[in-house]
Structure 1
């Protein structure tokens, strides 16, 4: 999969950006350093002025790529979900058994992220931390319905649908496949957050991982899936 991903370009809705950051060295520096800065100081404290100073460029140069920092966050979260989707598709495509396919999909979605050398300007480990901590800020806004209609969340929704289809493929009688799929994806973020910040509120730790928890949760919900 490593070699397949080397030429991968995650396609983001072009309404999210003014100019595609993947189209230039400056754009890639904006993405690379925005990830580093948001991880370091948080999204609330992050500004285009600070980013411009960090990359040695004018604040206005950042605005040539993104209208505001909300759009930048939408870009980063969309890229993450697209990257995760490609991993899921490549890894599960050759698995015929529906139970094993679903098990592997849950693992990919819920596991702790490791660095992917295929993208030199994107630190996936730090980006995953940003998604865990900041993802809800990309859609908990007054503009969410408008942005949804414009397709801003299409990659995320497509990932949920892929997992839902695998659930249906294993147990077509289950009444809540979309709810279960979205619960796994959102719940994985929440459990990783709790594990890192509110450990008394979760049973997940280094030994009892979110992957183990959600694997048990999903298969216990479905019929004819004993001996998980």
Structure 2
């Protein structure tokens, strides 16, 4: 899969940036170091001034790529979900059994992240930590409806709809497919967060992964409602 993906460019909504950060060395450095800084200090404490100091460039140079830090966070999370979508498509492409397709998809979407060779300037492990901790801050805003209409969450929406179709392929009569699909994506992030920060509030640990839990939840639910 890594060889197949090596020539692919992850695409995100062009309105999230002023200038494509993938188009220059500086742009890639902005993306690379912003992931690290947000992960270290949190999105609230992250500023373009701090990022400028980190990359050895003027703060104004960052604004040539991103209008503000909110758009940067939207860019990073969109890139993450697009990367997940590519993984899902390639992992399930040659599987015919619908239940195995669904199980594989859930594993891809909720498993512990490993470093990918798709890019050299993005550490997917650190980016995953950013998404787990900060993704909700990208949409829990007063502008969410407007931004959704503008397609800023298009990739996230598309990924949920892909999973919905896989759920219906296993049980076409299940009435809550899109709700279950969105629960898997959002719940996967939440279970990783709980495992790291509130371990007493989840059964997920080193032995039991969120992927195992969600496979049990989804497949047992679909089997029960199908037989019922």
TM range (shorter): over 0.9
Q: Which runs of 5+ in 1 are unaligned?
A: none
In structure 1, the partner of 2:22 is 22
Q: Residue in 2 aligned with 1:111?
A: 111
CA distance in 1, matches of 2:153, 2:71: 12
The 2-side partners of 1:8 and 1:84 are apart by 13
Offset at 1:118? Answer: 2.0
CA distance in 1, matches of 2:60, 2:189: 33
Measured in 2, the distance between the counterparts of 1:3 and 1:148 equals 33
Deviation digits for residues 18-68 of structure 1 (CA, Å, limit 9, x no counterpart): 000001110000000001111111111110000001000000000000000
Is 1:89 matched with 2:89? yes
- In structure 2, stretches of 5+ residues that fail to align are none
Q: For 2:65 and 2:188, how far apart are their aligned partners in 1?
A: 31
Equivalence for 2:4: 4
Q: Look up the match of 2:132.
A: 132
Q: Residue 222 in 1 paired to residue 185 in 2?
A: no
Aligned twin of 2:75 = 75
Q: Which residue of 2 aligns with 1:56?
A: 56
CA RMSD across the alignment: 1.1
CA distance in 2, matches of 1:195, 1:42: 18
Greater helix share, 1 or 2? 2
Q: Does the aligned pair in 2 maintain the 1:219–1:225 contact within 8 Å?
A: no
SS in structure 2 of the partner of residue 223 of structure 1: helix
- Classify 1:23/1:106 alpha carbon distance in 2 versus 1 (closer, same or farther; 3 Å): same
Tell me if the contact between 2:161 and 2:178 (Cα under 8 Å) persists in the aligned partners: yes
Which residue number in structure 1 is paired with residue 197 of structure 2?
A: 197
**Normalization by structure 1: what TM-score?**
0.97
**CA offset at residue 225 of structure 1?**
9.1
Alpha-carbon distance in 1 for matches of 2:38, 2:117:
21
For this pair of structures, how many residues does the alignment match? 226
2:169 alignment counterpart: 169
Q: Deviations over 1:132-190 (max 9, x none)?
A: 00000000000000000000000000000000000011100000000000000000000
